[in-house]
Amino acid sequence: MADERKREDAPGREDAPKRAAEPRRERPAGGMGRRAFYLRMVASSIIRRRSRMLVALLAVAIGATVLSGLVTIYYDIPRQMGQEFRSYGANFILVPSGGGGSLSAAEAERAREYFPAGSVVGIAPYRYQTAKINEQPFMVAGTDLAEARKTSPYWFVSGDWPESAGQALIGQEVADTIRLLPGSVFTLTGAAPDGKSFSRDFHVSGVMQTGGTEEAFIFVSLGDFDGLMGEGAFDVVECSVLAAEAELSAAAGRIAADMPGVAPRLVRRVTQSEGTVLAKLQSLVYLVTVVVLLLTMICVATTMMAVVAERRKEIGLKKTLGAANSGIVSEFLGEGVFLGGLGGLLGGGLGFVFAQMVSSRVFYRSIALRPALILVTLIVSVLVTGLACLLPIRGATEVDPAIVLRGE
Amino acid sequence: MSLLELRGVSKTYGNVRALWDIDLTVEEGQWIAIMGPSGSGKTTMMNIVGCMDRPSQGEVRLGGVNISQESGKNLTAIRRDKIGLIFQQFHLINYLTALENVMVAQYYHSLPDEKEALLALERVGLKERAKHLPSQLSGGEQQRVCIARALINYPMLILADEPTGNLDEANEKVVLGILRQLHQEGSAIIVVTHDPEVAEEAQRTVVLEHGRIARIIENDKWNKWNSVENSAANNEENGKGGAADA
**Residues in chain A closer than 8 A to B154 (CB atoms):** 19-20, 22, 24-25
Q: Tell me the mean pLDDT in the region A270-299.
A: 81
Tell me the pLDDT tens digit for each residue of A211-229: 888 899 999 999 999 999 8
Q: What is the pLDDT of residue A394?
A: 77
End-to-end Cα, chain B, rounded Å: 15
Find, in chain A, the residue whose alpha carbon is nearest to that of B135.
A48
Res A171 pLDDT > 50: yes
- Interface list for A 299-318 with B (CB within 8 A): 313-314, 317-318
Higher-confidence residue: B53 or A4? B53
B17, pLDDT greater than 70: yes
Q: What pLDDT band is residue A31 in, cutting at 50, 70 and 90?
A: low
* Chain B interface includes A48 (CB < 8 A): yes
Mean per-residue pLDDT, B4-23:
92
> Are the beta carbons of B28 and A40 separated by less than 8 Å?
no
Q: What percent of chain B has pLDDT over 90?
A: 52
- What is the rounded average pLDDT of the residues B221-230? 48
CA A399 to chain centre: 46
Q: Is A262 on the interface with B (CB under 8 A)?
A: no
SS3 for A251? helix
pLDDT in tens, A149-170: 988 888 899 999 999 999 999 9
Whether residues A19 and B186 touch (CB distance < 8 A) is answered with yes
- The pLDDT of residue B94: 92
In this prediction, residue B237 carries a pLDDT of: 45
pLDDT tens, B92-130? 999 999 999 999 999 999 889 999 999 999 988 899 999
ipTM attached to this prediction: 0.84
Residue with more model confidence, B172 or B224: B172
**The pLDDT of residue B213:** 93
Contact residues, chain A, for B87 at CB < 8 Å:
404-405, 407
Interface test with A, best of B32, B73, B185, B192 (most A CBs within 10 A): B185
Nearest to A48 among B25, B95, B104 (CB): B95
**A49:B95 CB<8 A:** yes
In tens, the pLDDT along B145-193 reads 999 999 899 898 999 988 888 888 888 888 889 889 888 888 899 999 9
Tell me: pLDDT of B235 over 60.
Answer: no
CA distance, residue A408 to nearest chain B CA (Å):
10
Chain B residues in contact with A40 by the CB 8 A cut-off are: 100
Show Cβ contacts of residue A326 under 8 Å, excluding neighbours closer than 6 positions.
none
Q: How far is CA A326 from CA A320, A374, A397, B76, in A?
A: 14, 31, 9, 13
Q: Does A342 score more than 60 pLDDT? A: yes
Q: In what order do the strands lie in the sheet with B65-66?
A: B16-26, B4-13, B57-62, B65-66
| CB-CB under 8 Å, B222 with A9 | yes
Domains for chain B: give ranges and CATH numbers.
27-51+77-227 (3.40.50.300)
For the cut 70, the answer to whether the pLDDT of residue A57 exceeds it is yes
- Asked if pLDDT for residue B195 goes beyond 90, the answer is no
Give the mean model confidence (pLDDT) for residues B79-96.
Answer: 90
Please determine, for residue B233, whether its predicted confidence score (pLDDT) is greater than 80. no
**Cα–Cα distance list, A300 to A62, A103, A147, A342 (Å):** 10, 62, 53, 14
Residue A1: which pLDDT band, with cuts at 50, 70 and 90?
A: very low
pLDDT in tens, A82-123: 777 777 778 899 998 876 667 888 888 888 889 888 888 899
Kindly report the nearest CA distance between residue A45 and chain B, in angstroms: 6
Give the ranges where chain B is alpha helix by DSSP (H): 42-49, 72-82, 98-109, 114-123, 139-151, 169-184, 196-200, 220-223, 232-237
What separation, in Å, do the N-terminal and C-terminal C-alpha atoms of chain A show? 38
Residue A3 has its nearest CB partner, among B25, B100, B107, at: B25
Helix (H) or strand (E) holding A284, with range, is: helix A268-309
Shortest Cα distance from B105 to chain A (angstroms)? Answer: 6
Taking an 8 Å cut-off on Cβ atoms, the answer to whether B76 and A323 are in contact is: yes
